[in-house]
């Protein structure tokens, strides 16, 4: 109701003028003239009090004006239209980390790179799965980046020789840390099974970090695991941690064969390149119907009205105005 502001201001001005004119004659009859007051009016105390009274009256008039204007604005109910949408970023990224003995010295750097990548994400869900002979989910897919970075830091400390290192290797080796294996294909397959919302159209990416040094007898060869990821429409980005030449070549050709890319974990810009690759994918969104609502936006006018009313009451009581 934008017309309410000038209407209320006009009404307040009209009432004020009417009250002034109607009371003019009464004030003329109620005035009492006192002789010999010139000396009193020249006194410092009198002049000081009159100055304060005039100042109080000026503040009172200003407060009344502010009260009228702010009340008019509040009565007009300023508002705006806001559109709400339930759009959610639908990209999921799992760091699938090899923690076998051959890459133990490099894993802390990989986790540091991944933590730096998290700082650049906006809405993507990320998870960490570590594997050796078997796999374990350190934390599931989540967009709680504070928790994600805390967990990445904790695991990094563990891999650098923290007190829980034996527990981590026991969970991924099905026994003592020194009797583990490195089942490359099984590790990748286990990570493909860590995505949720299988019935929804989401962008799914695995950041597969390993040196491709096979130890033990896997249930799935690397090419079989890559084929499974491709069938499930999961994009695999390889993060190659050192490794011997033959293993690097096999790893690179396998990942590139299913449309993925391979990065050097020791590269200074590996994290930035991976982030750009992930964010360059078609950004699909789960969009709900947009809701338009009218929201009151009174701003600071209610606070101004409250302050003005307090000033009016306080000054009127103090100076008997």
* Residue 295 maps to a domain: no
By three-state DSSP, how is residue 1 classified? Answer: coil
As to burial, measured by CB atoms within 10 angstroms (0-12 exposed, 13-18 middle, 19+ buried), residue 114 is buried
Same structural domain, 155 and 267: yes
* Residue 217 maps to a domain: yes
**Residue 226: alpha-carbon gap to chain centroid:** 35
Higher pLDDT, 259 or 30: 259
User: How many structural domains are present in the chain?
Assistant: 2
Q: Is the CA virtual torsion 98, 99, 102, 108 positive or negative? A: positive
pLDDT in tens, 82-127: 655 444 467 889 999 988 877 766 778 788 888 888 888 877 899 9
pLDDT for residue 88: 46
Percent of the chain residues topping a pLDDT of 70: 68
pLDDT for residue 288: 46
Same structural domain, 272 and 186: yes
pLDDT range class, residue 321, cuts 50, 70, 90: low
Asked whether the predicted pLDDT for residue 293 surpasses 80, the reply is no
Same structural domain, 26 and 107: no
Tell me whether strands 88-89 and 125-131 are parallel, antiparallel or unpaired: unpaired
Higher pLDDT, 26 or 194: 194
Pairwise CA distance, residues 234 & 226, whole Å: 9
pLDDT for residue 289: 47
Same structural domain, 121 and 73: no
pLDDT in tens, 245-284: 777 888 999 999 999 988 887 665 666 666 666 666 544 4
Same structural domain, 145 and 227: yes
* Residue 84 maps to a domain: no
Domain extent for 45: 4-78+301-319
* Residue 172 maps to a domain: yes
By three-state DSSP, how is residue 34 classified? Answer: coil
Q: Give 25's Cβ-side CA count (13 Å radius).
A: 2
Same structural domain, 72 and 168: no
Same structural domain, 194 and 274: yes
Q: What is the mean pLDDT of residues 301-313?
A: 85
pLDDT for residue 122: 77
pLDDT in tens, 157-189: 887 765 555 556 555 554 444 444 578 899 999
Torsions phi, psi for 50 (to 5 deg): -65, -35
CB count within 10 Å of CB 89 equals 17
Percent of the chain residues topping a pLDDT of 90: 17
pLDDT for residue 199: 81
pLDDT for residue 229: 94
pLDDT range class, residue 190, cuts 50, 70, 90: very high
Asked whether the predicted pLDDT for residue 13 surpasses 50, the reply is yes
Asked whether the predicted pLDDT for residue 216 surpasses 70, the reply is yes
* Residue 83 maps to a domain: no
Q: Which of 16-20, 50-54, 237-241 has the lowest mean pLDDT?
A: 16-20
Same structural domain, 181 and 276: yes
Same structural domain, 172 and 274: yes
Same structural domain, 257 and 307: no
* Residue 313 maps to a domain: yes
Same structural domain, 136 and 19: no
Same structural domain, 103 and 63: no
* Residue 51 maps to a domain: yes
pLDDT for residue 86: 44
Pairwise CA distance, residues 234 & 218, whole Å: 21
Return the CATH number at 264: 3.40.50.410
Q: What is the mean pLDDT of residues 204-213?
A: 89
pLDDT range class, residue 10, cuts 50, 70, 90: low
pLDDT for residue 30: 57
* Residue 184 maps to a domain: yes
Asked whether the predicted pLDDT for residue 1 surpasses 70, the reply is no
Q: What is the mean pLDDT of residues 133-143?
A: 89
């Amino acid at each position: 109701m934008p017309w309410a502001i000038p209407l209320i201001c006009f009404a307040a001005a009209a009432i004020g003028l009417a009250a002034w004119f109607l009371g003019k004659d009464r004030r003329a009859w109620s005035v009492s003239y006192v002789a010999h007051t010139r000396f009193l009016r020249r006194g410092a105390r009198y002049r000081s009090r009159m100055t304060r009274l005039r100042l109080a009256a000026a503040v009172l008039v200003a407060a009344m004006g502010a009260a009228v204007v702010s009340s008019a604005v509040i009565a007009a109910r300023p508002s705006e239209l806001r559109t709400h949408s339930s759009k959610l970023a639908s990209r999921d990224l799992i760091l699938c980390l090899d923690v076998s003995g051959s890459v133990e010295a490099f894993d802390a750097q990989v986790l540091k790179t991944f933590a730096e990548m998290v700082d650049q994400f906006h809405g993507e869900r990320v998870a960490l799965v570590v594997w050796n002979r078997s796999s374990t989910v350190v934390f599931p897919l989540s967009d709680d980046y504070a928790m994600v970075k805390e967990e990445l830091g904790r695991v990094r400390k563990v891999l650098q020789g923290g007190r829980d290192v034996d527990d981590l290797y026991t969970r991924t080796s099905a026994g003592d840390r020194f009797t583990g294996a490195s089942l490359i294909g099984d590790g990748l397959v286990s990570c493909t099974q860590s995505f949720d919302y299988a019935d929804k159209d989401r962008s799914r990416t695995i950041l597969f970090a390993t040196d491709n040094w096979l130890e033990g007898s896997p249930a799935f060869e690397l090419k079989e695991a890559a084929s499974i990821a491709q069938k499930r429409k999961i994009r695999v980005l390889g993060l190659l941690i050192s490794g011997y030449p033959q293993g690097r070549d096999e790893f690179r050709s396998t990942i590139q064969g299913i449309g993925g890319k391979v990065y050097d974990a020791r590269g200074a810009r590996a994290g930035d390149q991976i982030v750009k690759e992930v964010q360059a994918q078609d950004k699909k969104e789960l969009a709900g119907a947009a809701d338009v609502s009218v929201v009151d936006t009174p701003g600071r006018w209610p606070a101004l009205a409250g302050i003005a009313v307090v000033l009016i009451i306080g000054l009127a009581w103090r100076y008997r105005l």
